[in-house]
Amino acid sequence: MIDPSFYFLFLIVNSLFLFFPFQILVFILPKILKSQRCNTERVVVSRSFADFTPQATFDIKKCDVHRLEEGPPVKATLTRDQGLQYYRIMQTVRRMELKADQLYKQKIIRGFCHLYDGQEACAAGIEAAINPSDHLITAYRAHGYTYTRGVAIKEILAELTGRKGGVAKGKGGSMHMYAPHFYGGNGIVGAQVPLGAGIALACQYQGNNQVCVTLYGDGAANQGQLFEAFNMAALWKLPCIFICENNKYGMGTSVERASASTDYYKRGDFIPGLRVDGMDVLCVREATQFAADHCRSGKGPIVMELQTYRYHGHSMSDPGVSYRTREEIQEVRSKSDPISLLKDRMLSNNMAAVEEFKEIDIAIRKEVEEAAQYATSDPEPPLEELCNHIFKNDPPLEVRGTHPWATLKSVS
């Protein structure tokens, strides 16, 4: 809507045209219009700092429960600052993954690469509900969790491009990224689940009231080691939150074709379980908070199933449309996208302005672009460092008179 003062200015300019037509057209009018546009922009920006709802309560989808008398709340309170923070996190993960997709297609990123776009509400919601000192371990689709656990975008992208400045010094790649209290990134399907139970055992042993979030996918839910970990965690009442990210497909196989029962939250049998809307960051946050409280109170482990969806294929070698239709993917994008859902909630409740989201988007795009430039210009790790960081204290390269780069006498 045009400011009413614009019409007043128009009348003045129109009368001036009678006396100074050329000068007005070339020199004066552009300055007046520019000034008017700037004034309008200032009004919009000033609105972003006032007159917004600071907090709102939303109805969220009720969780299905297993062996629990009651589940997480069906209402979630969101502050304006929290909403903008969750939006920024999810949008950053989305943009980072899209940039990784681009770099892979340019053959700058090579090897395995599993993207997380579509599932951002899971990572953002879980991190919002646990403490920085709590522990988290996941499978090979790890970029999003690496970011939410505190690693910079440029370190993640540099790891993907195999550069020295990567979070694992360029030697881990897509599936093996680590940070304090974050144990990867694990390439073997389901192998991280027993490790997560072991981390929870350490939490219990140390008595620090910490929990371990142990994530796996629906494709790993039928692994035998999963049930072994369930048994030990329940037997010893370990503070472990087992979370199945059910994105509907294990590689190219739908859950209906792979599992006799797709109620993954009941798979623990003797362990309580929750089935959660994994596309809603507030649902994920409330359910994870409920699960963490359950574990911290000494009741033992709990199983959560987050119903989510990946937009890309299983990996970069999978176009993702041979076992599902493009229409299916588009329907999820249009109806259940986690970023759009949060944004629409905030806008409809006057918690933010469209301009704010645009500013955040622009800032994120710039940050991701700068990170990509770093990831493509940073040097590769030198050959001499290939064997470093395998042991806590690097042993000497030479062992019994030889070292890895020496030419063997038998082939010299």
d(CA 357, CA 355): 5
Same domain flag for 280 and 329: yes
Q: Tokens standing for 205?
A: 């042993």
pLDDT digits (tens, 9 = 90+) for 29-39: 445 444 444 34
pLDDT band at residue 411 using 50, 70 and 90 as cut-offs: low
So what's the pLDDT on residue 17?
A: 46
End-to-end Cα separation, the chain, in angstroms: 82
| Average predicted confidence (pLDDT) for the chain | 90
Same domain flag for 100 and 28: no
Q: Tokens standing for 217?
A: 């996918």
pLDDT band at residue 392 using 50, 70 and 90 as cut-offs: confident
Other Cβ atoms closer than 10 A to 397: 13
Same domain flag for 43 and 61: no
**21 found inside a domain:** yes
So what's the pLDDT on residue 28?
A: 46
Q: Whats the size of the chain, residue-wise?
A: 412
Same domain flag for 25 and 120: no
pLDDT band at residue 412 using 50, 70 and 90 as cut-offs: low
So what's the pLDDT on residue 30?
A: 47
Reduce the DSSP state of residue 234 to 3 states and report it.
helix
Give me the percent of the chain exceeding a pLDDT of 70.
86
So what's the pLDDT on residue 390?
A: 79
Q: What is the pTM of this model?
A: 0.85
d(CA 412, CA 408): 6
Query: Which amino acid, one-letter code, is at 90?
Result: M
d(CA 34, CA 375): 40
CATH of the domain at 151: 3.40.50.970
So what's the pLDDT on residue 399?
A: 75
Parallel/antiparallel/unpaired status of strands 249-250 and 240-246: unpaired
d(CA 32, CA 48): 25
pLDDT digits (tens, 9 = 90+) for 186-208: 999 999 999 999 999 999 999 99
Q: What counts of helices (H) and strands (E) characterise the chain?
A: 14, 10
**365 found inside a domain:** yes
Question: Domain range for residue 24?
Answer: 5-47
Same domain flag for 21 and 139: no
d(CA 322, CA 134): 39
Give the bridge partners for 305, in sequence order: 244, 275
| Mean pLDDT value of segment 378-405 | 80
pLDDT digits (tens, 9 = 90+) for 65-90: 999 999 999 999 999 999 999 999 99
- How far CA 47 is from CA of 1, 41, 50, 205, 355, in Å, comes to 15, 10, 5, 52, 10
Same domain flag for 13 and 95: no
Other Cβ atoms closer than 10 A to 29: 15
pLDDT band at residue 47 using 50, 70 and 90 as cut-offs: low
Which segments of 19-163 are extended strands (E)? 55-59, 64-66, 75-79, 135-137
Give me the percent of the chain exceeding a pLDDT of 90.
80
Quick one: residue 65, left, alpha or beta (phi over 0 = left, psi -120 to 50 = alpha)?
beta
**88 found inside a domain:** yes
Q: Is residue 250 over pLDDT 60?
A: yes
**393 found inside a domain:** no
Same domain flag for 25 and 81: no
pLDDT digits (tens, 9 = 90+) for 361-377: 999 999 999 999 999 99
What does the CA dihedral 119, 314, 390, 387 come to, rounded to 10 degrees?
Answer: -130
**317 found inside a domain:** yes
Our count of domains for the chain comes to 2
Reduce the DSSP state of residue 76 to 3 states and report it.
strand
Same domain flag for 152 and 192: yes
d(CA 287, CA 302): 11
Same domain flag for 182 and 306: yes
Same domain flag for 27 and 67: no
**392 found inside a domain:** no
Could you give the angle at the alpha carbon of 68 between the alpha carbons of 67 and 71, nearest 5°? 140
Give the bridge partners for 79, in sequence order: 55
Reduce the DSSP state of residue 179 to 3 states and report it.
strand
Q: Tokens standing for 76?
A: 């979630």
Q: Tokens standing for 392?
A: 């806590």
Same domain flag for 278 and 247: yes
CB neighbours of 198 closer than 8 A, spacing ≥ 6?
none
pLDDT digits (tens, 9 = 90+) for 144-167: 999 999 999 999 999 999 999 999
Task: Please give the distance of CA 282 from its chain centroid, rounded to a whole number.
Answer: 14
Would you list the DSSP string of 188-207?
A: STTTHHHHHHHHHHHHHHHT
Reduce the DSSP state of residue 288 to 3 states and report it.
helix
**311 found inside a domain:** yes
Percent helix, strand and coil across the chain, each to the nearest 5: 45, 10, 40
Other Cβ atoms closer than 10 A to 257: 10
- How far CA 18 is from CA of 12, 27, 346, in Å, comes to 11, 15, 50
Same domain flag for 220 and 288: yes
d(CA 354, CA 223): 45
Q: Is residue 93 over pLDDT 60?
A: yes
| Mean pLDDT value of segment 209-220 | 98
Query: What per-residue string of b and e applies to 229-239 under the rule 16 or more CB within 10 Å gives b?
Result: bbebbbeeebb
Asked if 137 and 182 touch (Cβ cutoff 8 Å), the reply is yes
